[in-house]
Amino acid sequence: MIDTVDQSRSVAGAPSGVGKAATTATRAVAVVVPAFRASHSVVDVVRGIGADVDHILVVDDACPDGSGRRVDEEVDDPRVEVIFNPVNLGVGGAMVAGYRRAMDLGVTVCVKLDADGQMDPALIPRFIAPLLAGEADYVKGNRFFHMRDVVEMPGLRLLGNAALSFLSKLSTGYWHAFDPTNGFTAIHAACLENIELEKIDQRFFFESDLLFRLHLIDAVVMDLPMRATYADETSNLSPMREIPRFAVSHTRNFLKRIFYEYYLRDFNLASLQLLGGSLLLLFGAVYGATIWITNLARAAESPPGTVGVVTMAMILGFVFIQGFVAFDYARIPQRPLQRRLQ
């Protein structure tokens, strides 16, 4: 469990009883704003959140420049509550603290909004609408939907996001989703109640790890086109340090998901296709390489029969793997979890 001391408090000007009234409200919406080194922008972000939101939870993640304290001192809004983490938990740990508080308040939908000002709070109604309408369980932003945004993006950033998106498709099972690291998201309370929040990655892999865990409970995920505003803010993410961690984490989640969904919870034709295809490809690669190296050392040609066996094994392996991928794509959840639980 996250060891976070409960140091939540409402900002100045909040009338007594606000939290109690909100707890009993139906279809309430909360926005969680994880704040770390964002004192220059977090106040404007909070002030830009519209009337569609019932609670604004600012999580000061042991911020050295006092982001939470600044909100506490400068924002006079009864919806705002500042949560002070005694130690830095990372963006994932800050979000879990916010999610737990939102669940205590009894909200229906919880939105994640970064404190750096890159996300437009005016888009919040578009993010929460599919959740309140029962059409999805989780809505995430997609900065790559419009071609005008893609052509304006630096080539290195575009290539990196494309690679991460493909790894995310493999590890999460959401083949239709793109831009997995997008931090503008909205989640239904039904998902929060059925996910082990303490197991979610606490650092920058948080959004990708959350997608992996959403697929394990068959939650419906929807991409929403959006534009990000890039200014002179400094990112806390170091690509050279995080890319290897992302690769290892995606590999781990892929193996976990395959084991859970195709061999532990169920065993079907796709399970056999994946197992058979993997064994055939492994056999073809190892046996073919061994024969080629041996014959190369002997300056001899490989027998046609041997070449045929290796070729057939490789072809059948690819066909079986292709069949598995097609089955996995067809397993993308379609019926929202919130409806199945009603």
Alpha carbon distance 254, 269 (integer Å)? 19
Alpha carbon distance 92, 59 (integer Å)? 11
Of 111, 166, 98, the residue nearest 138 (C-alpha): 111
Mean predicted confidence (pLDDT) in 97-107: 96
Kindly report, residue by residue over 10-51, the tens digit of the pLDDT.
333 333 333 333 333 468 999 999 999 999 999 999 999 999
DSSP characters for 263-310? Answer: IIS---HHHHHHHHHHHHHHHHHHHHHHHHHHHHHHT-PPPHHHHHHH
Which positions ≥6 away from 251 have C-beta within 8 Å? 171
Q: Is residue 145 scored above 70 in pLDDT?
A: yes
- Model's pTM, two decimal places? 0.85
Q: Is residue 2 scored above 80 in pLDDT?
A: no
Query: Which residue is listed with tokens 């969904």?
Result: 261
Alpha carbon distance 145, 148 (integer Å)? 9
Q: Is residue 5 scored above 50 in pLDDT?
A: no
Kindly report, residue by residue over 190-199, the tens digit of the pLDDT.
999 999 999 9
Alpha carbon distance 30, 195 (integer Å)? 18
Contact of 251 with 172, CB cutoff 8 Å: no
Q: What percentage of the chain reaches a pLDDT higher than 70?
A: 85
Between 172 and 163, the higher pLDDT residue: 172
Mean per-residue pLDDT of the chain: 87
Kindly report, residue by residue over 256-302, the tens digit of the pLDDT.
999 999 999 999 999 999 999 999 999 999 999 999 898 888 888 87
Q: Is residue 160 scored above 50 in pLDDT?
A: yes
Phi, psi dihedrals of residue 4, rounded to the nearest 5°: -115, 125
Of 94, 95, 107, the residue nearest 19 (C-alpha): 107
Contact of 38 with 99, CB cutoff 8 Å: no
Between 58 and 204, the higher pLDDT residue: 58
What pLDDT, on a 0 to 100 scale, did the predictor assign at position 98? Answer: 97
Q: Is residue 229 scored above 90 in pLDDT?
A: no
